[in-house]
Amino acid sequence: MEFISSNFLAIFMALLSGSMLIWSFVGNAVRGIKEVDARTALQLINHKEAFVLDVREPAEFKEGHILNATLIPLGKLSQRVGELEKYRDHPMVVVCRSGNRSGSACALLSKQGFTQVHNLGGGMMGWQGSNLPVSK
């Protein structure tokens, strides 16, 4: 008991960081977000004609993006969601740099009624790590 009381802050921080780590693995599943790896995303794009939505900032997009991706930065997505109406029931792959912003975008789109939204796990870093093509 003395150990716990004298190391309360360290124990609390360890529990908090562990909880955050666990949430990073299960958070998307809890929020109902379907996460796909780069190879599965490529199959969706090539075989199901999935729409690719890039939610990074314009400077990031210019550095390299998935061929035929459409750029709508996450900060503007809620105002521009109407532009995506024709993809409401169409497969969609959402991408950012690492998969975090795209996860938020997937949650927003799912709440708006988009039924086939997929988060690219690992984002563009995962895409490039799988040696898949990038357009500039």
pTM: 0.80
d(CA 47, CA 101): 25
Q: Where are the domains of the chain?
A: 1-30, 33-129
d(CA 51, CA 78): 18
The whole-chain average pLDDT of the chain stands at 89
Domain range 33-129, CATH architecture: 3-Layer(aba) Sandwich (3.40)
Q: What are phi and psi of 119, to 5 degrees?
A: -90, 130
d(CA 48, CA 20): 34
Which pLDDT tens digit goes with each residue over 84-112?
A: 999 999 999 999 999 999 999 999 999 99
Q: Which residues contact 25 (CB under 8 A, 6 or more apart)?
A: none
With b for 16 or more beta-carbon neighbours within 10 A and e for fewer, the 9-46 pattern comes to eeeeeeeeeeeeeeeeeeebeeeebebbebeebbebbe
Share of the chain above pLDDT 70, in %: 88
Which pLDDT tens digit goes with each residue over 49-88?
A: 999 999 999 999 999 999 999 999 999 999 999 999 999 9
Phi-psi bin for 131: left (phi > 0), alpha (psi -120 to 50), beta? left
